[in-house]
Structure 1
Amino acid sequence: MKNKFIIIRYGELFLKGKNRNDFVQKLVANITLTFQKNNFSNFNIKKLSDQLIVTNQNDKELPKMISSLNKVFGISVFYLSYQLENDCEKLYDFVREITNHYEINFTTFKFDISRNDKTFSKNSLILQKELGEIIVKSHGLKVNLSSPQTTFYIRIYRNFILFFTEKIKGQGGLPIGSSGKALLLLSGGIDSPVAAYQLMKRGLEVVYCHFYQQKEGQEKIFALAEKLCPYNNYSNNIYLVDTQPLFTEISHISQAKYRLVILKRMFIRLACSLAQELEIKAIATGDSLSQVSSQTLESLTVIQQVSSLIILQPLISWDKKEIIDQAQQIGTYNLSLSKYEDCCSLFEPKHPITKPKKEIVEKLEGEIFWEETLDIILQKMENFS
């Protein structure tokens, strides 16, 4: 017996107790969709207590399949493995024929061996020594226990042996959809796409809401959503909201320094109305505490008081460098830098207010017909999915 397959380990899902099966089922469904979206077929996914086993009728497809797993949340680690019989001599034969299974493009190695089956005829130290000697004598390689170029992993179970060389770190987190949905206010800047990624990592399918005052440059918003699509379980649901009528109203507010705060309160109201219509239980933003004047504790308090839903802010404690590093990692950074006029920039005052007063804001809102304006805006929004 010498089978080849992909092993996927759950990580955090292993801690879910009685609810674990629901999370694992969601992970299996998401992996299945990922394989299908990448045009793989004839595969099978088998559930074990702490891992999934993926097989394919054509095992030459497996190395291609494994590369599609690196954007699936809920996976701790995954690797391509051979399954051998629980037989000491068969294991030694496999190592003697190592070049039939692996390319020798390295000069140093080590064996990492553990025995779940303590009745196996040889212990781990003897196996490491004897199998290492086979590799050294056959291929002239050197053992390096501290920093080898390649590690041969051997896991010995009661009924079989696993043999593999590379552990690939997964995205971790929870499977998309296992925590429900969130409506994210996607601005087109650096922060909100990173916020989307962090929401996805906690099992939320993200629906996007983008407020605009001109259609020029909107391809940037679609490009950002497309870049995040594989992380979002291939969901790409965008609502575009033309808020030009709102800008006209807000421009009439007498105190210019309060206009941006009031604009953001209107955005929260619009987002809550849309989320409730879609039966989504939370809205989300890319706010980072005190990064700009409208993100001070006082400003956020006044802005968020109008929300009828929970507001998720996954970046609230992040600094800008952390956000930029994450944006570069997920591939949204350069897209976010492309030119596009953000709505909020229209009302950036020369001397921004950092500690707005709720009573003043509410009085100023009384100067405009905001409720009627929001109703008109909601009736004209567009959906792309």
Structure 2
Amino acid sequence: MDEALLRDLSPQVLGVLVRRGADFAAAEDAVQEALAEAVRRWDGGTPDEPKAWLVTVAWRKFLDARRSASARVLREVAVHREPSPGPAEQADDTLLLLSRCCHPALSPASAISLTLRAVGGLTTAQIARAFLVPEATMAQRISRAKRTLAGERFEQPGDVRAVLRVLYLMFDQGFVNRGSTGDQGPGDTDLAAEAIRLTRQLAASVPRDPEAAGLLALMLLHHARRAARIDPSGQLVPLPLQDRSLWDTAMIAEGVDLLQHALASDLLGEYQVQAAIAALHDDAASADETDWPQILEWYDELARITPDNPVVELNRAVAVGHVDGPLAGLRLIEALDPGLPRRDAVAAYLHERAGNRAEAARLYVLAARSAPSIAENAHLLKQAARLNRTG
């Protein structure tokens, strides 16, 4: 039994049922029943058209469930003829299914969980481990998400931007939390890698959307540094101190190529701009060779595209600090909400560059209290201790 094949086909079959008008929860139940039947019947060999086989069985399971619900439902489905597998079933339903999972009525956490379950083909246990929550908690979250979508009909894909946003959040959560509790064990889910896989599928289904390619490029350009981001002891290594020989140059090249093709469309979006900034960091042979003036130009463009975005303004302050001096960067930070995540950490960094070591140490300790991961908390406290020792 090829478990990898079943995992790959599961979301494809689910997408077919959703496109035919099946309710999301009922469609997933039907697909799970079809997969269970495949496990029982494919021991003798996989059929020539495994996807068509699963679609046929899953659709029958779905219709059987509807017929058993009530006589009224029986009259409704009696007019349906089961479509025979063929060219129509080869349509890419990735965007349709992602649109359903990323419905605006769902919270980001629920949208990510449902996407991993329905499109990623992961088990509830795997998703729970990725979110560091009990399996029962994750099962309830996914069930609530399905109930929220009950009765919704998605004949056409929804807003691609909403899908991109969920995939970006999924990647960010996986990238930030990777290493925060030690290396992942066998069977654990790498959220960042899964986000990249799903974004590849999405980019292939909307080849003329430069922002989908831009997001994929952004993920790859960050993911390429991952081996250098956490040291063997589990400590976070900031970008300037990373061993750049550990960076994945092939992944960087792919990201840059995707970005160049996206920028050629002349339809600039926020993910393309962020990818351009990441590419400039990846292109530098050392931290001292980073092209901060060009990075600042891209942050100016990002601020234009996403006005009143405090996170963008915070990151732009770092670039300003490198180009115009740390005091100029600190003046920009003063205008930002004191409760903004990472504000204290950035202020500490700029104060240290300005020579204000005592204030930098104080801010590093303050930033550690709201750090999003164990690794980042330890890193910030380590910076404070270093300054206090040498101050």
Larger fraction in strand:
1
Q: TM-score, normalised by structure 2?
A: 0.29
Max Rg structure: 1
Q: TM-score, normalised by structure 1?
A: 0.29
